Chain A
């Protein structure tokens, strides 16, 4: 019996259309748009101005606080503007736009594909390099990695978990990274373990990727302390708390962080970025993005420079057709529909998914019949129908003791609801309002 998390979860059709597609180097874009807020936390502060010449890997915006991240130029060329630019959500946000001229890299960056295994750096130096490189959680949460590697005083990690679960349907970026760049991921993992002073590492991979499990197991033989853990296919196994429970059996208490149970979870893509930052001195300027969907001619996995327009990716993979009803940034479960596909690829863009017209429409909402399906699939053990109703009625004070802030927004409840109710829509709103309320209370006392 394979391991998995204890409660809830669903199993949507996997639809991994691009699983066989090798990672392709995406042609360099003519212009890149790099928003200053590609991570959770304070926006970065620009250090270049309009008209400046930049090279690939040059720092263009500095972290604007402790929980923030550096941003580097992903192309060489001229800064065209430091102004508001349209993002995928249809809102304008501050961004740096660069016109590409050639492809010149900053000095000191090792662009060769040669594997550098040995790492003898001090933990503090590793964390400094990771912070300098602007690495964030690449699975989509975009939490600055250096912050996760700096546990608060008195807390210590004893296990590093690498998330190779990729439980979102359609997405295959992490799968391909493990198959094609497995050794680099393993070196990255051991660097993360070194930075935290941890001996035991696990890489959790769902059982629908047997090739990746076999490949990683073979490679991991020469990496003592790293164990590959095959997991039963179940969404949302890639959730931090679910993955910790699945692999170690430890339960992260309500309101606590993974570090409270001694675990640090990082994505496969993050481990790769950490390897490149520490061993190759290469900042985060590109990432692997899955471009997929049934209307596309060639679903693919691209290694893309950050800031490349998403529409260019779609065009390269076969282009838009009349049948496209929705373009989603990320996977179908947690991704967000985009109103502006001309928006750029960000640090957290793990995939671009095109949905057919008929698949893309939601069901007309009906009345809740209290079947409690949402309760049985909630991986956090919450009561989604209740939280949704309380949020809709703006009863946030009542929703707080029902642990609304524990919701991980995985969408299993909305997915499973036979009445087609937009449960998560309201819960997400209620969660945000409740958090505001809690923060206001904390500020008062």
Chain B
């Protein structure tokens, strides 16, 4: 019996001693954390996409609790509703932002922008862009290897096999900006989603002079300045041979869309125009350009790829 009593006693004493140490350590080295951080983190969508500029939702929650003025903090995924809920909870003024969406500014589909060569290197936009101008005559547009698709956490972007261009699913896009950073050509931009998703934008980033740009792509902006003249709100500027619509100034009147001779200015989610208006908008200059045949092998090499082309082993 003595052995049992001895054992129980020793272990109990040991337990009490360790508990005392643990209690001391816990009270001495305690790190106080605002319990609201946990609550705010739960309110955030938990996508950990980094779209807010912080390293994940936890860091964003910490910042939201810490800062007095949270007007510069915004979760693009949760949007206005989520931010309002958090702001109410914290008793701070809710930051307000227009809902944004990623926009692919390139209209150079396979048919409008003929391929002049084939890239058989690594299937990556970044690799292709670091090596050469691309598979078409336009060295500015969408390369179509889908670096943006790979970084999108929400499955909101895909490469349309018919056009060879990246396409954004508006419903799924949270405007986190990951694709904007991933695109080596800077084709994707975050723009205001607009009322009922209606937007007008220039779907081209080609900085070549008009004639050169047009030669490589039918849908290219040729910097003709017609849109600048047509815009009643001074929202359109032309820099480096490419037009740009400032979405903070644009009032969606669509006068520029009708003027654009190459169809580089695109309007989305608008109801179809009335027939009379449509007839008036069909300017004579909107004739389709000559479709260039892809250069044949005899004239130019049809295959282009990066270095390291080991010859076939004998």
Tell whether A341 pairs with B307 under 8 Å between CB atoms, given A361-B120, A425-B121, A426-B127.
no
CA of A162 to CA of B212 in the docked complex: distance in angstroms? 44
Contact at B120–A336, with CB atoms within 8 Å? no
Set B122, B133, B298, B310: member contacting A339, Cβ < 8 A: B133
CA of A332 to CA of B313 in the docked complex: distance in angstroms? 13
Set A320, A333, A339: member contacting B307, Cβ < 8 A: A333
Chain B residue contacts of A359, Cβ below 8 A: 309, 311-312
Contact at A324–B312, with CB atoms within 8 Å? no
Count contacts on B: residues with CB < 8 A to the other chain: 35
The stretch of A86-94, A206-214, A399-407 in contact with B is: A86-94
Contact at A89–B121, with CB atoms within 8 Å? no
Contact at A339–B116, with CB atoms within 8 Å? yes
CA of A169 to CA of B311 in the docked complex: distance in angstroms? 9
A26 within 8 A of B: no
Chain A residue contacts of B305, Cβ below 8 A: 326, 337, 360, 362
Contact at A12–B311, with CB atoms within 8 Å? yes
Contact at B130–A89, with CB atoms within 8 Å? no
Contact at A334–B301, with CB atoms within 8 Å? no
CA of A293 to CA of B306 in the docked complex: distance in angstroms? 18
Contact at A428–B130, with CB atoms within 8 Å? yes
Which single residue of chain B is at the shortest CB-CB distance from A330?
B307
Question: What band does the interface of chain A fall in when counting residues whose beta carbon is under 8 Å from B?
Answer: 35 or more
Tell whether A92 pairs with B208 under 8 Å between CB atoms, given A337-B305, A355-B311, A425-B306.
yes
Contact at A358–B312, with CB atoms within 8 Å? yes
Which single residue of chain A is at the shortest CB-CB distance from B126?
A429
> B117-143: contact bitstring with A at CB < 8 Å (1 yes, 0 no)?
100111010110011111001010000
Which single residue of chain A is at the shortest CB-CB distance from B296?
A322
Tell whether A411 pairs with B307 under 8 Å between CB atoms, given A425-B127, A426-B122.
yes
Contact at B309–A337, with CB atoms within 8 Å? yes
Which single residue of chain B is at the shortest CB-CB distance from A342?
B300
Which single residue of chain B is at the shortest CB-CB distance from A410?
B308
Chain A residue contacts of B121, Cβ below 8 A: 362, 422, 425
Chain A residue contacts of B190, Cβ below 8 A: none
Tell whether A425 pairs with B124 under 8 Å between CB atoms, given A90-B134, A169-B311, A415-B308.
yes
B280 within 8 A of A: no
Kindly provide the distance from the CB of B212 to the nearest chain A CB, expressed in whole angstroms: 8
Chain B residue contacts of A358, Cβ below 8 A: 312
B43 within 8 A of A: no
Contact at B303–A341, with CB atoms within 8 Å? no
> Which residues 81-132 of B have a CB within 8 angstroms of A?
116-117, 120-122, 124, 126-127, 130-132
Contact at B132–A90, with CB atoms within 8 Å? yes
> Which residues 22-47 of A have a CB within 8 angstroms of B?
none
Tell whether A424 pairs with B311 under 8 Å between CB atoms, given A92-B208, A327-B301, A336-B131.
no
Set B120, B208, B212, B298: member contacting A320, Cβ < 8 A: B298
Contact at B301–A424, with CB atoms within 8 Å? no
Chain B residue contacts of A392, Cβ below 8 A: 122, 124
B302 within 8 A of A: yes
Tell whether A335 pairs with B307 under 8 Å between CB atoms, given A91-B139, A358-B312.
yes
The 19 listed contacts between A and B (C-beta, < 8 Å) are A90-B137, A320-B299, A324-B301, A326-B303, A326-B309, A327-B301, A333-B307, A335-B307, A337-B306, A338-B301, A339-B304, A360-B303, A360-B305, A361-B303, A362-B121, A411-B307, A422-B121, A422-B306, A425-B122
Known: A339-B133, A411-B308. 10 other contacts (CB 8 A): A90-B132, A92-B212, A320-B299, A324-B301, A327-B301, A339-B301, A360-B303, A411-B307, A426-B122, A429-B130
A contact set with B: CB distance below 8 Å? 12-13, 15, 89-92, 169, 320-322, 324-328, 332-341, 355, 357-362, 365, 392, 409, 411, 414-415, 422, 424-426, 428-429, 432
